Homo-oligomer: A and B are copies of this chain.
Amino acid sequence: MPRRTLKPSAALYPMPVVLVTCGDMERPNIITIAWTGIACSDPPTVSISIRPNRYSHELIQRSGEFVINIPTLELLEKVDFCGVTSGRDRDKFGECGFTALPATKVKPPLIGECPINLECTVTQMLPIGAHDMFLARIEVVHGESDVIDEKGRIDASRAIPITFVTYNYYRLGDYLNSYGFTGGRLSE
């Protein structure tokens, strides 16, 4: 198959797409983020990248706190809405009809409609270019009982998340296998 050279771009995929809450219970805000990833397993650390002109950038830089809320398929329209609007002008929490639940360690609320919520505290902000990257410690993980399996692990097939691929939303598909299934051997 012939191979073409494309312009350098953020062509990594598939990406997560999450609702990040910031501010506090009285005046919470939400921003949709796909430029996020795991930076370290221990201590559990995430990165989120935000343009400096976004309202959420200001709130997170000021407080050093945010919550990552993992949405499900049913929330697709609200996920998109929170990505293309600004909390400077409007109350995204209210417009989406989301339930703000108090977090335990940080001031921004959890979104009650999202089955998994990660409370995070910023450890470092790195200016890179169009985006600044916030590195943050995952302090507390909350999960709805029905997405947690018998062993206390998150079962994503019980609350289908959304995936982001080159500016398109996709559904998570079928379970294939577990990490380590080859045991370091390829079948013949």
Interface residues of A (CB under 8 A from B): 1-16, 18, 34-47, 49, 68, 70, 73, 76-78, 80-81, 83-85, 95-96, 101, 104, 110, 115-118, 124, 126, 128-131, 133, 135, 137-146, 148, 152-156, 160-187
Contact = CB atoms under 8 A, between A and B. Distances in A.
A13 B70 contact: yes
B170 A130 contact: no
Contact of A143 (B3, B77, B83, B138): B3
Contact of A12 (B18, B73, B165, B178): B18
B176 A170 contact: yes
Nearest to A131: B40
Nearest to A73: B176
Given A6-B143, A13-B16, A129 B40 contact: yes
